[in-house]
Amino acid sequence: MESVANWYNANLSSWLPKEVFIFLVSMVPLIELRGGIAIAKFLQIPLLKANIICIIGNIIPIPFILLFIRRIFVYMKEHNILKNLVEKLEARASKKSEGAEKGHFLFLLLFVGIPLPGTGAWTGSLIASLFEFDIKKSSVAIFLGILMAALLIDIIFYGVLGIFLH
């Protein structure tokens, strides 16, 4: 993430505020809030400010995924638009969600909250939508998972372990 921060400083910092950059990074699938907070640390953005910006950035795509992704996927498959990619995403979501039907709240909370590769709010929302989990419960679980992930990433980059990363 330090290399991304360096790239930003070399290429974008003269016209794009660093706060906008981490906001946009936090909206990107797979990178999400985890990358946003890490980059914020390297850009020397204070912890509280970084958290607010990155949490909001990570939350914004979630309602759209929960509400519309199934319809979008159906349309894409019917019209052969990136059909292989859609099927791959559906298979990945299915594989990652094994056993989630019972206790999906806790599953989504931990899936989004524990910062491991391939987990996060985007994939958690995709799983919740594809498997038709209750949207209100899923939204709360995903939001709490985002907060949990933020806390864990804060500890890594701004806290105890952050001493060794800079």
Together in a domain, 161 and 132: no
Output the pLDDT for position 58.
Answer: 97
Together in a domain, 85 and 136: yes
Together in a domain, 42 and 100: no
Output the pLDDT for position 17.
Answer: 97
Euclidean distance between CA atoms 52 and 150, whole angstroms: 10
Output the pLDDT for position 117.
Answer: 83
Together in a domain, 14 and 71: no
Output the pLDDT for position 162.
Answer: 55
Tens-level pLDDT at each residue, the chain (166 residues): 889 999 999 999 999 999 999 999 999 998 999 999 999 999 999 999 999 999 999 999 999 999 999 899 999 999 988 899 888 888 877 776 666 666 889 999 999 999 888 899 999 999 899 888 999 999 999 999 999 999 999 998 888 655 555 5
User: Exposure of 145 by Cβ count < 10 A (0-12 exposed, 13-18 middle, 19+ buried)?
Assistant: buried
The total of structural domains in the chain comes to 2
Together in a domain, 110 and 66: yes
pLDDT tens readout for residues 72-113: 999 999 998 889 988 888 887 777 666 666 688 999 999 999
Together in a domain, 67 and 49: no
Which residue range(s) make up the domain with 47?
A: 2-58+153-165
Nearest Cα residue to 94 out of 127, 119, 141, 116 = 127
**Rounded to whole angstroms, what are the CA distances from 53 to 25, 34, 37, 104, 118?**
10, 12, 9, 28, 22
Together in a domain, 92 and 131: yes
The alpha helices in the chain, defined as continuous H runs, are 2-11, 18-27, 32-42, 47-59, 61-78, 83-96, 104-113, 121-130, 135-157
Together in a domain, 30 and 81: no
Together in a domain, 89 and 111: yes
Together in a domain, 66 and 39: no
